[in-house]
Structure 1
Amino acid sequence: MAGNSQRKGAIRKGSKPTAGSGGRVRRGLEGKGPTPKAKDREYHKAHKVAKRAEREAAKRPRKPARGGDAEWIAGRNSVVEALRAEMPLTALYVAEGAERDGRLREAFELAAAAGISLLEVSRGEMDRLTGGAVHQGLAARMPSYEYAHPDDLLDRATDRDEQPLIVALDSVTDPRNLGAVVRSASGFGAHGVLIPERRSAGMTASAWKTSAGAAARVPVAQTVNLTRQLKAYQEAGCMVIGLAADGDVALPDLELSTGPIVVVVGSEGKGLGRLVAETCDQLVSIPMGNDLESLNAGVAASITLYSIAQARAAGQ
Structure 2
Amino acid sequence: MGRRPQPKNQQGHKSLFPRLYGRHAVFAALDNPDREFRKLWLTPATAKTLDLPPGINVQYGDDHDLGRMVPTDAPHQGYVLEVEPLESVWLGDILAAAIEDGKNRPIVVLDQVTDPHNVGAIMRSALAFGARALVTQDRHSPGETGVLAKSASGALEHLPWCRVVNLARALDEMAEAGFWRIGLDGSAEVELETAMGKTQPVLVLGAEGEGMRALTVERCDQIAKLPITGVESLNVSNAAAIALYAAARRGL
1:72 to 14, 19, 31: 19
1:130 offset after TM fit, Å? 5.4
Structure (1 or 2) with the greater helix fraction: 1
Map Cα deviations across residues 88-122 of structure 1 (whole Å, 9 max, x no partner).
5724455xxxxxxxx71233224534557244499
Map Cα deviations across residues 224-278 of structure 1 (whole Å, 9 max, x no partner).
11111111211222110000121131234x1423232111011112111111112
Tell me the SS of whatever aligns to 2:131.
coil
Following the alignment from structure 2 to structure 1, what is the Cα–Cα distance between the partners of residues 126 and 53? 26
Contact 1:84–1:110, Cα closer than 8 Å, also in 2: no
Equivalences, count? 232
RMSD between aligned residues: 3.3
Contact 1:148–1:221, Cα closer than 8 Å, also in 2: yes
1:180 offset after TM fit, Å? 1.3
Following the alignment from structure 1 to structure 2, what is the Cα–Cα distance between the partners of residues 241 and 272? 11
Give the 5 Å matches for 1:46-65.
63-65=12-14
Map Cα deviations across residues 187-208 of structure 1 (whole Å, 9 max, x no partner).
1111101000001122322222
Higher deviation after alignment, 296-305 or 201-210: 201-210
Contact 1:234–1:240, Cα closer than 8 Å, also in 2: yes
Letter in 2 for 1:235: E
Structure 2 unaligned blocks of 5 or more: 1-10
Structure 1 unaligned blocks of 5 or more: 1-61, 95-102
> What is the match of residue 216 of structure 1?
157
Give the 5 Å matches for 1:146-295.
146-252=87-193, 254-290=194-230, 292-295=231-234
Q: Please, what TM-score do these two structures have when normalized by structure 2? A: 0.77
> Quick check: which has more Rg, 1 or 2?
1
Following the alignment from structure 1 to structure 2, what is the Cα–Cα distance between the partners of residues 147 and 221? 6
Following the alignment from structure 1 to structure 2, what is the Cα–Cα distance between the partners of residues 138 and 251? 41
1:176 offset after TM fit, Å? 1.5
Q: Please, what TM-score do these two structures have when normalized by structure 1? A: 0.63
Following the alignment from structure 2 to structure 1, what is the Cα–Cα distance between the partners of residues 23 and 130? 29
Share of identical aligned residues, percent? 29
Against the structure 1 CA distance between its residues 275 and 132, is the aligned structure 2 distance closer, same or farther, given a 3 Å change threshold?
closer
Is 1:90 paired with 2:37?
A: yes
Tell me the SS of whatever aligns to 1:278.
helix
